[in-house]
Copies of this chain bind each other. A is one copy, B any other.
Amino acid sequence: MLIDAGQAAELLLAQERVRILAHQNPDGDTLGCSFALWNVLHNLGRKALVECPSGFPERFSFLYEGYIPDEFDGGFLAALDVASPHMLREEHRNAPVDLCIDHHSSNAGYASQLCLEPDAAAACQLLLEVIRRMNAEITPRIATCLYTGLATDTGCFRFSNTSAATLRCAAELLELGAAQADVNERLFETTTRELLQLEQQVMAGLRYFGKGRIALITITQQMLRETGVSEPEMDGISNLPKRIQGVEIGVTLREKPEGGLRVSLRTRRTVDAAQICGAFGGGGHLRAAGCTLREEEVQRLIALCESALPAGEERP
């Protein structure tokens, strides 16, 4: 059943024990929501804990500073920013989740009560409204958690999902004491030596096709071994080739440990990334999609990219 922020607030206030569920490979939004809600419930004297199938990444350690999970069995299940039950722990995939607060228009509707706002740039934006309806105090710690979700899901207000409402929500969170400078420095101004080294190696192998309108990079297993960079750390790399002026399709090939290549495609303007990846059994969005390839299929991928380029402008 679809419910609004006020109803979600009432439902949460009626609980004594809440099991907060974050999605696997957690990002700043699911974790920001989870620890914001944990703090709210904790401050209200309720028992609560946060569960995530893949643990809490070090990168977000500031979100779970001072977090002490309460111990209890069962409890009310609240999934935050979780579009599909497949992103939850095994045991929650088939049992009913009581409440889901989310902003993905693709939400599978798996929860008994769904509070959904597809226009929100982040689930944190919607959760702020829910917390306000709970009449709970929004402490600086809670504001920091919510700010983190907002900032990470919008590339720090750079992506086009940043709406006037998103910016106003961020403004309120700053006024409530969100640690903006610290969060931005940690998440957007810091890279590791290892990642920098990997980027150097990867960009040294940059190749152009389609008269400079396609740029391709390859991340080999050897590079990963040499630099020691882990999978989640290199998320941003696949955005690099598309940033180059004149490039309309950025292709990132990643060697898989078991052989074969994982492809990430990023496009500008009119090129449909999902359609190209679809030809290889993959999919995704208009501007960002992925698929898996055998080494010998790379030529075909490039040919498909070339034929997808709109006529017109070419780099001299």
Contacts and interface: CB of A to CB of B under 8 A. Distances in A.
A170 B172 CA distance: 14
B245 A192 contact: yes
A159 B174 CA distance: 13
Nearest to A246: B193
A41 to B, nearest CB: 27
- Interface residue tally of chain A, by bracket? 35 or more
A147 to B, nearest CB: 11
B156 A167 contact: no
Copy number in the complex reads: 2
- Smallest CB-CB A-B distances: 5 pairs: A160-B181, A167-B171, A164-B171, A157-B157, A164-B174
A190 B157 contact: no
Contacts of A156: 156-158
A89 interface: no
B158 A193 contact: no
Contacts of A191: 243-245
B168 A174 contact: no
B158 A189 contact: yes
Given A193-B245, A196-B244, A203-B196, A160 B174 contact: no
A196 B162 CA distance: 27
B190 A243 contact: yes
A180 B203 contact: no
A204 interface: yes
A168 B164 CA distance: 8
A73 interface: no
A175 interface: yes
A91 interface: no
Nearest to A204: B200
Interface string A231-248: 000000000001111100
A188 interface: yes
Interface string A137-180: 00000000000000000001111101111011011101100001
Given A158-B188, A196-B206, 13 more contacts: A156-B158, A157-B157, A158-B184, A160-B180, A160-B181, A162-B174, A162-B180, A163-B174, A164-B174, A165-B171, A185-B268, A190-B244, A200-B200
